[in-house]
Chains A and B, each alone.
Chain A
């Protein structure tokens, strides 16, 4: 039987790597959050008019370009520390709070689902480090959220006729928003291939709860999940999803051993 605290340590290390890379990305896009950039705090602060004056003043200080970049630097070094020496609760409290600031700076999220799962895992790491029993609960919570992420995504897709017919595949990969590799673009024009791929994605996502039922299925789903996220990176450029979802997989493996 695996020790839940050991599993949390492994997730902590993986999250350290993922958050360090995310922080580097923010550091590299400094100009976009400046007062000459896209997300200017002087404008964004209007979303938080409802907050008490003292909190607004604190946010004004934290969210200015200079201080926000300092926070991202702190986040980067703290994440490296998390990967190397993931034993202190305070490391994960800092990572959670700085990630929360990012969601405020980008009106809910910068990178959608990957921000959400980053926040959830970091919160669970904070809670799980308090007591061994809480460690077990934290691993279960991560597991349920990750399984839900696949299952709900599959459920929304299967309800849509375009996904059931496979035409949604070409619709997404041909979108000018993405620089999809040419061979995928050409393949997705074939209706049979597109329908097969669409149903493979739907069935994979809808059946993901089976990850908990048998050791062989656990290995299969986790490996398929890695390939799925790798594919999403190649087609849609979603690199963050690969790292954050991979970091959660030890929790799924642990929970599958308990069932």
Chain B
């Protein structure tokens, strides 16, 4: 008898989930900062449900004024799975965290209220840090760089720009950019 009640409760729980999933989400979600702190304890369990175009970060950089910028290059690609990365995968997980950040960035672009420049938002600052962090090891001298967030075509080439940064000189904005 107990088992049947248990099973019925579990069945009811999943029926309710299906019913609630039929309602379309109409707002940007709960906006209470205190509730947001405990959001990780109430996960939505949405995995691989983002079917819009792939969006990637691209950068271009140069070491001297005279030099021309090259082609836009993708900022990162996940390293190939290896036996050791099954246990400790810090590089792969860093890139996955960067991808999660892109989702947050897209959300913030969508809901930005124009009261402050977007460059002053935390998401933008993290994106800029991310680009600088990823490319700084490639250059020995000071360098100028620019980045953009863009949707990509089937060959992962930038298609449509979503966000284009000004030029930066190794961490600072170039005045006349």
Listed in ascending order, the chain A residues whose CB lies under 8 Å from chain B are: 21, 24-26, 28-29, 31-32, 36-40, 43-44, 46-48, 50, 100, 103-104, 106-113, 115-117, 119-120, 123, 144-145, 147-149, 151-153, 155-157, 159-160, 162, 168, 171-172, 174-179, 181, 209, 212-213, 233-240, 242, 258-259
Contact of A25 among B10, B14, B88 (CB under 8 A): B88
CA distance A116 to B40 in the complex (A): 5
Residues of A within 8 A of B92 (CB): 237, 239
Check B129–A38 contact: CB distance below 8 A: yes
The listed residue (B36, B79, B88, B104) touching A237 by CB distance below 8 A is B79
Evaluate whether A113 and B43 lie within 8 angstroms (CB atoms) in the complex, with A32-B94, A32-B133, A168-B48 already known: yes
- Chain B 28-66, CB within 8 Å of chain A: the 1/0 string? 000001101101110111111101001010000000000
Q: 3 smallest A-B Cβ distances: which pairs?
A: A116-B43, A237-B92, A176-B156
Q: Within the complex, what minimum Cβ distance (angstroms) separates B13 from chain A?
A: 7
Contact assessment for A28 and B40 in the assembled complex, using a CB-CB cutoff below 8 Å:
no
Residue from B79, B89, B98, B126 in contact with A43 in the complex, judged by beta carbons closer than 8 Å? B126
**Residues of chain B at interface, number, CB under 8 A:** 59
A198 to chain B minimum Cβ distance, whole angstroms, is 11
Residue on B nearest A102 in the bound complex, by CB:
B40
Interface residues of B in 71-117 (CB under 8 A from A): 74, 77-81, 85-90, 92-101, 104
Q: Are A144 and B93 in contact (CB under 8 A)?
A: no
Of B34, B45, B51, B89, the contact of A168 (CB 8 Å cutoff): B51
Cβ of B6 < 8 Å from any Cβ of A?
yes
Residues of chain B within 8 A of A179, CB atoms compared: 77-81
Given A152-B46, A155-B17, are A108 and B54 neighbors across the interface (CB < 8 Å)?
no
State in angstroms the CA–CA spacing of A23 and B41 once bound together. 20
Alpha-carbon gap, A50 to B37, bound state (A): 11
B48–A43 contact, CB under 8 A?
no
The A/B interface has a contact count, at CB < 8 Å, of: 172
15 interchain pairs, CB-CB under 8 A? A25-B93, A29-B94, A38-B133, A100-B40, A104-B37, A107-B122, A109-B100, A115-B40, A145-B43, A147-B10, A156-B46, A176-B74, A212-B7, A238-B96, A239-B92
A160 nearest CB across to chain B (Å): 6
CB distance from A202 to the nearest CB of B (A): 11
Complex CA distance for A111 and B85, rounded to whole angstroms: 15
Within the complex, which residue of A107, A168, A258 is in contact with B6, where a contact is CB–CB below 8 Å?
Answer: A258
A119 contacts B129, CB within 8 Å?
A: no
Separation in Å of the A45 CB from the closest CB of chain B? 9
Q: Does the CB pair B74–A28 fall under 8 Å? A: no
Which of A36, A37, A176, A212 gathers the greatest number of chain B CB atoms within 10 Å?
A176
Residues of A within 8 A of B13 (CB): 144
9 further contact pairs, Cβ within 8 A, besides A43-B125, A120-B41: A25-B89, A32-B94, A145-B43, A162-B51, A177-B54, A178-B78, A237-B78, A237-B93, A239-B93
List residues of chain A with CB within 8 A of the CB of B129: 37-40, 43
Contact of A171 among B33, B36, B51, B104 (CB under 8 A): B51
A149 and B88 contacting across the interface, CB-CB below 8 Å: no
Bound-state CA distance A123–B43 (Å) is 14
Chain B contacts for A21, CB-based, 8 A: 87-88
Tell me, rounded to whole Å, the shortest Cβ–Cβ distance linking A147 to chain B.
Answer: 8
- Contact: A43 with B94, CB < 8 Å? no
| Closest chain B CB from A52 CB (angstroms) | 11
| Chain A residue contacts of B37, Cβ below 8 A | 104
- Shortest CB-to-CB span from A124 to chain B, Å, is 11
Query: How far, in angstroms, from A116 to B100 measured CA to CA in the complex?
Result: 14
Min CB distance A36 to B, Å, is 8
* Interface positions of B from 141 to 157, Cβ below 8 Å from A: 152, 154, 156
B122 touches A239 (CB 8 A): no
Closest Cβ of chain A to B43, distance in Å, is 4
A107→B102 CA distance, assembly (Å)? 12
